[in-house]
Amino acid sequence: MNSVPGPYDATRERLADLMADQPAYRVGQVWRGLHVNARRPAEMTELPPLLRKRLDSSLPPALQPISESVSDKGETVKWLFALQDGARVETVLMHYRDRTTVCVSSQAGCAMRCSFCATGQAGFTRHLSAGEIVEQVVAAIRQAKAHPTGERRVSNVVFMGMGEPLANYDRLWPAIVRLHDDIGISARHLTVSTVGVVPGIRRLATEKLPVNLAVSLHAANDRLRESLVPLNKRYPLSVLTEACRSYVAAKGRRLSFEWALIDGVNDRAEDAAELAAIAVPLAAHVNLIPLNPTPGYAVVGSSPGRVRQFRDGLTDLGVKATIRRNRGSDIDAACGQLAARA
């Protein structure tokens, strides 16, 4: 792992140690500078210059941007970051009319091996630390502040980048607490997306903060789901949907299902019927997105016409479904395309 913990892996105690010769209020000042103002120590002009310098060298950023790609007329930005040990992750910032969302990675790579996902095709490198997760959001906050048409505030964080967040629970949850308590993002604007790690969903249901849960379903019968999402062998649909039901009962949050529409695979009328049979009793919202192309998967995404037809089929069956606009596909920043190529 990291040799030097980055600024967002430092605890208040570590900051206090670094500032043992300073008045006690400095710790809170630096903490707010890092979290509320998203500033680097070098930018904290309220601090004496020597202290600024010391903190800047003791708390170097954990993420180094390797590249920054912009699309959708500046409304989508993707970064490729190198971590201190050379592992790489991607982060995507998306501005919408009514919100600004950061899509963060929870692991470098992913061990889940979903056939159609570029991250899964590349395999697992390592878990991210809580600070490495938080710092992705901070990088996006800094960028959003400098938006060309005026400052934007990051309102939403979705754990839909690289990795399976619930397979890295022990670092995910402290990161969520930081984002909520110190950066000020409300629980209802934090969304954890999982391929169906049932013990993680159960654990999430015991937490104090009621974050949103999104489940990447993609298939509503075990045979098809196993072929797309290998984890379904371990946690089949009956077990997964029961965990979803408990989560909704415990948290009172709306559940959502992600469904990447794959031509001729999961976009037929019978697929819509199977999905409705699961979604209706859970009052789940379905997010539809045509499959984005990835190098390791030959089947293509459904055509816009078939996507609308599938949506209409769901609506007729009483399911609330939204077609997601595909952001950043021209910069390989769209869902499932994050592969951290240099």
Query: Which spans of this chain sit near ligand SAH (rule: CB under 6 A)?
Result: 112, 114, 116-117, 160, 164, 193-195, 216, 258, 260, 289, 291-292, 294, 335-336
Say which of 110, 117, 244, 335 is annotated catalytic.
335
For tokens 């062998």, what's the residue?
233
- SS3 at position 160: coil
CA dihedral 321, 323, 327, 332 (to 10 degrees): 90
Residue 17 CB, nearest approach to ligand SAH (Å): 36
Using alpha carbons, select from 153, 152, 167, 162 the residue that is nearest to residue 119. 162
Contact 78/92 with Cβ under 8 angstroms?
A: yes
CA-CA distance, 87 to 84, in Å (whole number)?
Answer: 7
Query: Is 335 considered catalytic here?
Result: yes
Closer of 29 and 115 to ligand SAH (Cβ): 115
Residue 175 CB, nearest approach to ligand SAH (Å): 14
Residue 301 CB, nearest approach to ligand SAH (Å): 7
Residue 96 CB, nearest approach to ligand SAH (Å): 18
What is the phi/psi pair of residue 318, to 5°?
90, 20
* Residue 216, amino acid: S
Contact 117/336 with Cβ under 8 angstroms?
A: yes
* Residue 32, amino acid: R
CA-CA distance, 100 to 74, in Å (whole number)?
Answer: 13
Say which of 90, 132, 164, 258 is annotated catalytic.
90
Q: Which stretches of 102-220 are DSSP H helices?
A: 118-122, 130-145, 169-181, 198-204
CA-CA distance, 276 to 56, in Å (whole number)?
Answer: 53
CA-CA distance, 82 to 263, in Å (whole number)?
Answer: 35
- SS3 at position 206: coil
Query: Is 117 considered catalytic here?
Result: no
Residue 73 CB, nearest approach to ligand SAH (Å): 22
Closer of 34 and 137 to ligand SAH (Cβ): 137
Residue 223 CB, nearest approach to ligand SAH (Å): 18
Give me the active site residues, please.
90, 335
